[in-house]
Structure 1
Amino acid sequence: MSYPNQGPFSYGPQPHTHPNGTTILVLGILSLVVCTPLGPFAWSMGNTALREIDESGLFYDNRGSIQAGRICGIISSILLIVTVAFVVIIFAILIISGALAGGSSSF
């Protein structure tokens, strides 16, 4: 059985592959699993790649991978912002309470 999009006489536009698709997906996954600061890079690169795809008007077969990496980057960036805000708030509370300001030294 022959499928219409295979072989030298295929129908429709030939799919293209964005060169940064795999990189964006890997950065997005790594930002969730291992290293949260990679999230903004995946998010930014994903936005750029999707803009390039939309402006080209061509069919790209790895658009889903780019979107997945971008979404992972967005989630990781939000988690990074929440974590940094939490650390800053805790640090400020400790300074205000005098624990780090030298108000009660046990040495």
Structure 2
Amino acid sequence: MSYDQPPPPPQYGAPQPYGYGSQPPKNSVMAISALVLGIIGVIPCFWGCFIFSGAGVVLGKLGQKEIRESQGAKKGEGQAKWGFILGIVGLVLGVLYWILFATGAIDITYEGNFGS
């Protein structure tokens, strides 16, 4: 390839390298949201873990799909994947907690001496 010839045109559907006149790939909002909700879902909040973890699972899968279909315009597939994984872990921990609570293995009684 000589320096006086222009580079070949990009193939259709191939991700464009960003350079002069093009935009860098943007982070997927769904991927970031999936990761945040997945992290919150793992924190033992027990009722809320189903809501946050479930949302992390759904947004993780939607974020992965959005990134794949963007053809390089969006990034954050790792964030979406970890949001999905942490969402699954949060759901499993929540189910395990409620099974242990229902069988009596975990007893939640708050008895304290509050000023008497």
**TM-score interval (norm. to shorter):** 0.5 to 0.7
Q: Which moved more, 1:75-84 or 1:56-65?
A: 56-65
Given the two structures, how large is their TM-score scaled by the length of structure 2? 0.58
CA spacing shift, 1:72–1:58, aligned 2, 3 Å? same
The residue that corresponds to 1:8 in the other structure is 20
Could you say what secondary structure the match of 1:58 adopts?
coil
Deviation sequence 1:47-105 (CA, Å, 0-9, x none): 22223334x251232111111111111101110111111112228xxxxxxxxxxxxxx
| Aligned residues: CA RMSD | 2.6
- Superposition TM-score, scaled by structure 1 size: 0.62
Do the aligned partners of 1:25 and 1:69 also contact (CA within 8 Å) in 2?
yes
Any gaps of 5 or more consecutive residues in structure 1? 92-107
Unaligned runs of 5+ in 2: 1-16, 106-116
Deviations along 1:15-63, one digit per CA (max 9) or x if unpaired, are 3432222111111111123532311111122122223334x25123211
- The aligned residue for residue 29 of structure 2 is 19
How many residues matched?
84
Identical-residue share of aligned pairs (%) = 22
Query: Secondary structure in 1 aligned to 2:29?
Result: coil
